[in-house]
Every structure is written in C-alpha cells, then in structure tokens.
Amino acid sequence: MKLSHIIAAIEEYAPRCLQESWDNTGLQVGLPESAGGECTGVLLCLDVTPDIIGQAAAKGCNLVVSHHPLIFKGLKSISETGGPVQRAVAAAIRAGVAVYSSHTALDSTRGGVSCEMARLLGARVLRVLAPADIHAATVSVTCPRRVAEEVRLVLLDGKAPSCDYFDIDSERLDGTPAADDVVPGISIAHEPLCRIEAPAADSADVAATVAALRSMSCAADLRIDIRPVDNRDMSRGLGVVAQFDTPLKGSELTARIRDVFRPGCIKASLGYSPDMTVRRIALCGGSGGEFIGRAAASGAQAYITADVRYHDFADAAESAMAVFDIGHFESELCARGLFHKLITNRFPGLAVHCAEPETNPVNYL
C-alpha cells in the first residue's frame, strides 16, 4: 500500500481546506513515496514526540499519523540535541518515518472529533456548533510541468494554505495530442501539463494571486481559472450540538464523562448541579472556550470542551448552562479512533497501531 494512498484517503475524509488559517495540517516530515512508496504500517497518536517515532520504528511502521501538528511554529534548526520537536523531526528523518497531521481539518469535517465525543457519550448529533467558513474560491492553474514548482510557490505566497497537484496527459502514446487534453491558450500541445489548485480566502487574495501569476515570465503558458465556492458549510465546522434520547442527571453526565474520557479532573462552572437535568449538550474537542455563547444559544444544558479560561467561567457563572473543562488531551484523544476506523476500513490488510503509552503533557497532582 502506497503512503500517498493513505494520505489521500485521510484528506478525502478531512480536506485540508477545512483547517483554520493558523493551523498546519498536512505532511510534516518525509515524502509520501519515500522508502519505495510502500507503507509498512501506521502508528496513530495525538502528539508526535521522539518516543512516538521510536515506537513507530520498533513496530516497523514508516508512517505516523497524528492529530496535533508536529511542526507548528517555525524551526530555525533541526538537531538531535534540540527541543522535543527538533528531536522528533530528526528521529523521523533518520528512521525513514513519514509524519502526517490532520488537526483542525479533522475537527471540522463531518463526523470529526466533536462528533466522536458525542458518540462516545451516547448522544445523537443534531448540528454543527460553529459552521466552517470555507474558502471563497479555488484558483486553478493549468501549466507545463516544467514550471509547476514556480506556480505552486506563487500560490502559496498568495496565502493559500495548501496546493493540490494533478497530472494531465497531453500527448498520446503515438505522439498526437489527446483531444480532451488540449488546453485553449497554451501553445505547447505536446508538452506534459499539470493542474495546480489552491483555495483563496477572499476576493482580495484571489486578485493578488492572479496578478502575481500574470506577472510570471511563463504567464503566456498559463491558463488561470477561478471557481467561486459557497463560503459557509452548515454540515462541517468546529463543535457540535447533540442530544440524549433519555435525559441524564448532572451527576450521571459527569460519571459518563469520567468513564469515557478519563480526565485527571473536571472543571465545572457554577451552573452545574448534580440534580440538574441534561438532555441537550454542546461539545468541542480541544480549546473551545470561545464558543460558550454559541453553546448557550443552542439550548444546551451542558457544554463540554477544554482550555476554558477563568474569565470564561466567571462570565458563565450566572448561566443555567453548565460548562465543563475536561482537559485538552482527554477531549481529543478520540482522534486516534477516527484515524483507526478510516484507515482500517479503507486498507484492511494494513497494520495500524495506536501509540501506547501516550503521555498527557499536563500532570494532575
């Protein structure tokens, strides 16, 4: 099984265009066709550490799939004596292990992390809590393959979070151009072509990107197409609103949270009561404090998330909705289950492992 096929399956399920603008979803280390292109096994984790790379190598896995990006902030050097990120990158390169991360793309996709949290708690998802703002348009450039890298860099410099590459066979085996592959406006009918597509956030980004493409020395060989897209997808986004078929008491909900997520502790707002009735809940894996207002407006009696600030708890003190902070690690560890289900269903003969142990960087005393 090719590494590139596994990455393509992940991106089909959780497209990179769903990631937040500050995120770094995608291939972190290695080439998708490294080690001959064959995947020897996959190790799934929440965070990539030097120990995780060691686990992968010990299990014979040449691909690590994580939720949190290994490379998030810029690295000025890669050293085996540096910090944990540098050491993990160096270890992956040395061991020939590719690393792919799907972060907010996995959060926002249909059936993503928050949906999985609801499923594990036994609640039925009703809708997305904060629908995704998808890119405003796709910039598509058909060009000779010899200038593909230059075009890709121009698109990335235009703030595109990622680019997708497609080969176009512009010449039949007998040397005559294939009618379906001849692109109007390009004079090199027999030269291999490709198409590069990138999302643009708004009309200003589209205009700037097109201007940059038209200023290239190879502009005469480019065909540029702009495809507008719907900027709001109500079926994808961060967080979900869900409902229990049978209402729970507050104490029953907290017991279920402890059983499912095993948090080191649960922080709760003053709206919580052991005797409260909870039928509708809102959930957001990871840092979801910014959506407390949305959760209250949804009619939820409880909101389950992580990284809630003191002042967010203070603002929610008089709300009838209970806010639960169950811990970042605990709320997103279920991402491994999503990866496992996806990869084993698509590639049933492939060895897929969950990292064990995986250490929470927060220690509860």
**132-150 pLDDT tens trace:** 766 567 899 999 999 999 9
| Token pair listed for 295 | 């959760």
Q: Which of 126, 83, 140 is nearest to 235 (CA)?
A: 126
266-289: pLDDT as tens digits: 999 999 999 999 999 999 999 999
**3.40.1390.30, 3.30.365.10, 3.40.718.10, 3.30.1360.120: CATH of 110-132+235-332:** 3.40.1390.30
Q: What is the pLDDT of residue 55?
A: 97
For the chain, the straight-line distance linking the first and the last C-alpha, in angstroms and rounded, comes to 44
Domain limits, the chain: 3-105+334-354, 110-132+235-332, 137-229
Domain 110-132+235-332 matches domain 137-229 at the CATH topology level: no
pTM given for the model: 0.75
For residues 96-109, give the mean pLDDT: 96
CA 113/CA 93 separation, integer angstroms: 29
Q: Would you identify the CATH topology of the domain 3-105+334-354? A: 3.40.1390
Q: Which of 13, 7, 16, 20 is nearest to 239 (CA)?
A: 20
| Token pair listed for 245 | 């078929």
User: Which residue's entry shows tokens 């004079």?
Assistant: 187
DSSP assignment string, 63-116? EEEESS-S--SPPS---TTS-HHHHHHHHHHHHT-EEEE--HHHHHSTT-HHHH
Within 8 A by CB and 6+ apart from 293, the residues are: none
CA 13/CA 23 separation, integer angstroms: 18
CATH number of 137-229: 3.30.70.120
Contact assessment for residue 339 and residue 44, using Cβ atoms and an 8 Å cutoff: yes
Q: What is the pLDDT of residue 90?
A: 96
Q: Which residue has the higher pLDDT, 277 or 75?
A: 277
320-347: pLDDT as tens digits: 999 999 999 999 999 999 999 999 999 9
